Amino acid sequence: MELLIVFLIGLLYASGIYMMLRRSMVKLLLGLLLLGNGANLLIFLLGDLTEGRPPVIPSDSNIFMEIYADPIPQSLILTAIVISFGLQSFAIILLKKVYLATGSENLDDLNTHEQDI
């Protein structure tokens, strides 16, 4: 299972970087989304996969006798999802404003100094 997730993380990172190197701002945004999902899966994998165990430890236990899921990577992923959602929302609005101002979403067209935006 972990090997499958490792390949999935590699695929998400590779496709995210490929999309970010394109000339379109929409593809840049999609690449950023793929990189964020790859990072979330990487944090999830580094936290160790524990099947069937909750991240809750009884308050009366002094010694951990059973395997439990680590709650720290899960909370980090939840925080990363919220932050990436805010970043993507801002980027979509910014992309719309740039497109309305210039009439193009190609990054090469935005690089000219002949027009004042």
C-alpha 14: how far from its chain's center? 13
Give tens-digit pLDDT for 19-53: 999 888 899 999 999 999 999 999 888 877 666 66
Confidence of residue 83 (pLDDT cuts 50, 70, 90): very high
pTM, two decimal places: 0.75
Nearest to 12 by CA among 36, 45, 48: 36
The CATH class of 2-51+69-109 is mainly alpha
From its phi and psi, is residue 50 left (phi > 0), alpha (psi between -120 and 50) or beta?
A: beta
Residues ≥6 apart with Cβ < 8 Å to 81: 40
Residue found by looking up tokens 């970010």 in the block: 20
Model pLDDT, residue 46 = 83
Does the pLDDT value for residue 117 go beyond 60?
no
Burial label, 97 (beta-carbon count in 10 A; 0-12, 13-18, 19+): exposed
pLDDT (0 to 100) of residue 79: 92
Q: Which residue type, as a one-letter code, is found at position 39?
A: A
The tokens describing 48, both together, are 């160790």
Gap between the Cα atoms of 86 and 56, Å rounded: 29
Q: What is the pLDDT of residues 97-114, one digit of tens each?
A: 988 988 888 877 777 666
Residue ranges per structural domain of the chain: 2-51+69-109
Contact 18, 31 (CB under 8 A): yes
